[in-house]
Every structure is written in C-alpha cells, then in structure tokens.
C-alpha cells in the first residue's frame, strides 16, 4: 500500500512539474525607449514592435508594453510614486471614459510599480488592468488591450513577474 501511495505521489509531482514547465514560454529581449527589458511570453504568442511600444497577443488576449516617458520633475522614483502613476494613467485612460476600480503597489524587478484596475465610468463594466513600472525617471507601462478580465489577469501578473531590466552593452550598471 505504501508503494502505491509513493508511486501516486511521484506521478503527481511529475505531472505538476510538466504542467509548470509547459507554460514557461520564451524570454524576449526588448528595447522600448530608454528601457532595455526582457519578458517571458507564452510559446506561440505574437509580438508586434512599434519602437517605443510592443503589442503582445495570443489565446484571445492582447497587451501592450511600452515606454511612457518621463513624468514629473523629481523623477518617478520619488516618494509620491502613486500620484505620478495616477498622472501617467490619465495620459492613457482619460478620466472622461474610465474610473479606477482598484489600485495597489507592488515591486516588479525591484522597482516600484503601481497597478490599476480600471472600468467604464458609467457601467463599471469592461474591467482592465494597467501597470506602471517606475524606472530611472520613466514609466514602463503594461496595459491590457483585449480579453476578459478573468482570463487576462493571471497572464498580466505572470508577465509582470517575468519582467527584467537589462543593462545595455557598453553601459555602466546603475548609471
């Protein structure tokens, strides 16, 4: 009986490892304005490069990742990062159309990040997520463009978790 239990446990662990590895995807290096980043994307997803922004899509979902540029005279690493991120949100989600349903702070690759859930101002439908990763006085923006909130949310978080900032060749780290 113990052998059967051990075998079942071993099979369950193997299946779990295979399932975790199946969605690992491919790491892509991107240059988006001043940001040199890498991000892990699911196998088979398409990446369209528009210079300062890329559109990533697959499985009925679409996201954009791009350089929003500098915000504020103090730079984005200032203590009032949520206020600066709110100003950045206003640039891409005019208040006339969308409201903030939720806001949270979290680190991404060791950098302060503000994540907003927004929805239609009148109906409170069409919930979407947008994150502002604050780096070297600029905002890197990950924005949900297509797909239901329940399906897009986990993929959005996985992309944020996989984000890495790279030092370009010839640059001095920390400068």
How many domains does one find in the chain? Answer: 1
Return phi, psi of residue 90, to 5°. -60, -30
**pLDDT (0 to 100) of residue 92:** 72
Q: State residue 81's pLDDT score.
A: 65
Establish if 122 belongs to a structural domain: yes
CA 124 to chain centroid, in Å, comes to: 23
- Please report the pLDDT score of residue 80 as a whole number: 64
Give me Rg for the CA atoms of the chain.
Answer: 19
Q: Taking a C-beta distance cutoff of 8 angstroms, is the pair 85, 132 a contact?
A: yes
Domain assignment present for residue 160? The answer is: yes
Q: For the domain that residue 99 is a member of, what is the CATH number? A: 3.40.1000.10
Q: How much is the pLDDT for 104?
A: 92
Domain that holds residue 50: 26-165
Cβ pair 130, 118 in contact under 8 A: yes
Name the stretches of the chain with pLDDT < 70.
1-24, 71-82, 84-85, 94-96, 168-175
Tokens of 120: 């239609």
pLDDT score for 134: 86
Q: Is the pTM of this model over 0.85?
A: no
96 in any annotated domain: yes
């Amino acid at each position: 009986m113990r052998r059967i239990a051990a075998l079942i446990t071993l099979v369950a662990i193997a299946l779990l490892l295979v399932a975790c590895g199946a969605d690992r995807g491919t790491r892509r290096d991107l240059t988006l304005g001043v940001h040199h980043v890498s991000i892990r994307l699911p196998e088979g997803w398409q990446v369209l490069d528009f210079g300062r922004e890329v559109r990533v899509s697959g499985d009925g979902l679409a996201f954009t990742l791009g350089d929003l540029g500098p915000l504020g005279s103090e730079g984005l690493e200032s203590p009032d990062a949520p206020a600066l991120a709110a100003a950045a949100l206003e640039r891409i989600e005019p208040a006339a159309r969308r409201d903030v349903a939720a806001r949270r702070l979290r680190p991404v690759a060791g950098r302060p990040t503000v994540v907003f859930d927004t929805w239609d101002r009148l109906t409170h439908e069409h919930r979407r997520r947008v994150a502002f990763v604050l780096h070297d006085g600029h905002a890197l923006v990950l924005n949900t463009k297509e797909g239901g909130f329940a399906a897009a949310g986990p993929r959005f978080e996985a992309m944020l978790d996989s984000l890495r900032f790279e030092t370009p060749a010839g640059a001095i780290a920390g400068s």
